[in-house]
Every structure is written in C-alpha cells, then in structure tokens.
Amino acid sequence: MEFRNIVFVVTEECSCPLYNVGEEFSVQNSALSVERDKPVCLLMVRELLKALSSTKPMEQRISLQPQSKAKFECGGCTGLIRFEHKKDRPYSTLQMNLLKAAEQRAKQQIIAQFFGILRDMELFEPLSDFDLQDLAMMMKMKGYPPNKIIIEEGERGTNFYVVLSGKVAVVRKDSEIIAEIEPGGIFGEMSLLSGELTYPSVYSRTACQLATLNSKDFKHVLSKYPILQIFFYRVLVNRAQENTLRQGKISSGMSGDLTEINPVDLFQMINSGGKTGRVSFELEGGEVGEALFNEGEVVSCAFGVLTDKDAFFAILVQQKGRFTYTKGLTAEEKRLPVLGGFMGLVMEGLQRIDEQQEIGDE
C-alpha cells in the first residue's frame, strides 16, 4: 500500500530521546521524513506502519470523526510520544504555510543579525558557514529583561545557551557573583553534558537576547558534528579545574585564568600545600614568567628581564593571562636557596603595589 502526503505532529512527549512537542514528520510516497535531519526512530516507524496498515484507509478513519484528530502513540523505548495526524484543509493550509514562512523569515533575520557573533566563537570555528546556519536555525531565540532568573541552582538542566546581546551573571547561593558572561559566551552545557543538577544560578544582569538549544537538540548537534565534542570536553576539564581551584586545591597539569584566581591566591595555595613544582605564566601582551617552589617556598622567579624578587613582585600585580602548574623540580633546582620567607615576600610585594598606586594617584 502506498501513502501520500500524510503529516503528523508531536502533541505530547515524556523522556523521548529524539523528538520534541510541535515537531512534525511526514509520510510521502511510503517514505518517512523528520525535521532538521534528525535520525529516524525505527520503533516509531513500526508504530506508524501499524497505524497506516489498519484495515480502513487513513482518510476513512479520519473522516469518521471530523471533530477529532487521529491520535497515535509510540512508547517502545525509554520514552514516550503521542502524535496526531495533521489534517490539511485547502483554506487553512495556505494560511498556515504563509504564517510558517513569515516566522521562518523573521528568524532568519534575527540569525543574520547575530551570525557574526556565532561565527567568531571558538566553539563554532570548525563548522562551515552552511553548517553553522543550519545549526542556528535549530536554535530558539529568547529575550530576558534585567534581573530575571534563567537557570536556578539545583534544577535538572534543560537547555544550552549562547549569549547574543546583553550580559548574564553566574551567582552562588550567598549572592556572590562568580562570573559575568557577555555576547559570545555560553552556559548551561555542564548539566547537559554531566547529567548533574545545575550549579550555580544564572540570571540576566541587563536585558539580553539568548539563543538556546533544548537537551535533545543539543545531543543531536553533538552527534551530527562530532568535532564539537572536543571543545565541550575541554570545557568540562577547565570547569572541573576551576571548581578545584575555588576549593583551594591545585594539582599537576592544572591550568587556569588569572581573571579567575589572582597570583597572590595561587601562590598561597602552593605554599599552604607545601607543593614542589613550577608555575608558568603566559600573560597579556605575550610576556611570559615562571615561579619555582620547593616544598611551598619560592626558590626562583623570572619575568621578562626581571629575576628573583623583582620578578616575583612583578608577577603579583598581573591580572590577565593564563597559568599552568607542573609538579616536580630537577635535582639542581631543588638545591636553589629560598628567596625569602613566603609571607614576608608577599607582604613586601603588596606593600610595593600600594606604594606604586599612591604614586600613581599623586
């Protein structure tokens, strides 16, 4: 039996791994097609074939109850969806098609406005313009007024967000702002990737425009573009390291950003932990530096042409750049004399900073 131009729409969904409410799929010339190149669920195909192979033709079954729609259900896996036949009337189909086309054009205009932001993001760098436009069409645009909760701590993650305009803040329970996210930044991915509850809360600091992907579409995108999985793997590692740093811990191979932790706090963690190793710095403007610790005490330091204490004091004031901690020193480095008592060095360095600020104010 051949079926022509039969369209279905998902009306209910509970933990379905593939489809969302409102998505459509159609049977045309006995072939099933779904939206946005999503995979076709074979279990759903089986349920459709059962429905379409009934003893009464589809058209007759629908016409028996003109006030209701033919309803079907697929619950063959871990989830459940219910879908209905979308009855097409000539006078309404044109109106709906025009409305859908208008919505599509409006969305394309919004995407065109913010496409440059998406194109410049490191996350989407591996994608071609065509693939990025296709991905952007899957996103929903949401606007938020200032001081609106977007993600509340302790909830199950449901969406991945990209900031297109405005600014959002990441906030702990004690109301401390951990970070601010500006256009081109992302959030919400940690809960989707790890399956853990959301932490911490996120709210809009200003009026903002966000592009979102729900959890199923997010997983579909990762499956369709495996190269993006590498980026999110790095994000997971970096966030885990940031959380470890906030807990006052440091381990070999750990790296981070000086906007997240300043050199004074970083050095204090190494000193209090009695660590032996080196901290390498890549600072704004291309400058590099290095500090060597033996059992928590500073034994050598370099920054540009500066060495020892002068280099240590210069590194203390750095606010932008990245660091990497590596465990262990060579036997020769372990024999280097201590530059001075750690707390004494820090206090002298902070005093120099205050003096320089006073000179600058004058």
Q: What is the CATH number of the domain that holds 147?
A: 2.60.120.10
In a domain, 352, yes or no: yes
> What global pTM score does this model have?
0.55
pLDDT at residue 224 greater than cutoff 50:
yes
In a domain, 349, yes or no: yes
In a domain, 1, yes or no: no
Query: Does one domain contain both 39 and 124?
Result: no
> 289 pLDDT band (50/70/90 cuts)?
very high
pLDDT for residue 178: 81
Between the ranges 58-62, 147-151, 230-234, 345-349, where is the mean pLDDT highest? 147-151
Average pLDDT over residues 244-266: 76
pLDDT for residue 60: 45
Q: Of 297 and 42, which is predicted with more confidence?
A: 297
Query: Does one domain contain both 150 and 261?
Result: no
pLDDT for residue 184: 92
Convert the pLDDT of each residue in 88-125 to its tens digit: 444 445 666 666 677 777 777 878 888 999 999 989 99
> Which residue range is the domain that position 233 belongs to?
103-241
Q: How many domains does the chain have?
A: 3
Last residue of a domain, one of 64, 88, 112: 88
Query: Does one domain contain both 198 and 109?
Result: yes
Q: Of 160 and 86, which is predicted with more confidence?
A: 160
Q: Of 106 and 340, which is predicted with more confidence?
A: 340
Query: Does one domain contain both 234 and 255?
Result: no
> 62 pLDDT band (50/70/90 cuts)?
very low
Average pLDDT over residues 324-340: 92
Average pLDDT over residues 215-236: 84
Query: Does one domain contain both 254 and 314?
Result: yes
Instruction: Output the average pLDDT for the chain.
Output: 79
pLDDT at residue 66 greater than cutoff 70:
no
In a domain, 256, yes or no: yes
pLDDT for residue 209: 93
Query: Does one domain contain both 116 and 186?
Result: yes
Last residue of a domain, one of 241, 274, 290: 241
Last residue of a domain, one of 211, 241, 271: 241
* 53-67, 72-86, 177-191: least confidently modelled range: 53-67
pLDDT for residue 61: 42
pLDDT for residue 35: 62
* 120-129, 167-176, 275-284: least confidently modelled range: 167-176
pLDDT for residue 357: 61
Average pLDDT over residues 346-358: 73
Average pLDDT over residues 35-56: 65
Query: Does one domain contain both 118 and 58?
Result: no
pLDDT for residue 121: 92
Average pLDDT over residues 148-158: 90
Query: Does one domain contain both 70 and 122?
Result: no
In a domain, 125, yes or no: yes
Query: Does one domain contain both 176 and 263?
Result: no
Q: What percent of the chain has pLDDT over 70?
A: 74
In a domain, 218, yes or no: yes
Query: Does one domain contain both 327 and 253?
Result: yes
**Closest to 210 in 3D by CA, of 142, 276, 149:** 142
Query: Does one domain contain both 214 and 289?
Result: no
Q: 3-class secondary structure for the chain?
A: CCCCCEEEEEEEEECCCCCCCCCEEEEECCEEEEHHHCCCCHHHHHHHHHHHCCCCCHHHHHHHCCCCCCEEEECCCCCEEEEEECCCCHHHHHHHHHHHHHHHHHHHHHHHHHHHHHHHCHHHCCCCHHHHHHHHHHCEEEEECCCCEEECCCCECCEEEEEEECCEEEECCCCCEEEEECCCCEECHHHHHHCCECCCEEEECCCEEEEEEEHHHHHHHHHHCCHHHHHHHHHHHHHHHHHHHHCCCCCCCCEEECCCCCHHHHHHHHHHCCCCEEEEEEECCCCEEEEEEECCEEEEEEECCEEHHHHHHHHHCCCCEEEEEEECCCHHHHCCCCCCCHHHHHHHHHHHHHHHHHHHHC
> 223 pLDDT band (50/70/90 cuts)?
confident
In a domain, 59, yes or no: yes
pLDDT at residue 56 greater than cutoff 60:
no
Query: Does one domain contain both 58 and 27?
Result: yes
pLDDT for residue 65: 43
Average pLDDT over residues 75-94: 63
Convert the pLDDT of each residue in 189-211 to its tens digit: 888 887 778 888 999 999 999 99
Q: What percent of the chain has pLDDT over 90?
A: 27
Contact assessment for residue 217 and residue 225, using Cβ atoms and an 8 Å cutoff: no
pLDDT for residue 248: 59
In a domain, 94, yes or no: no
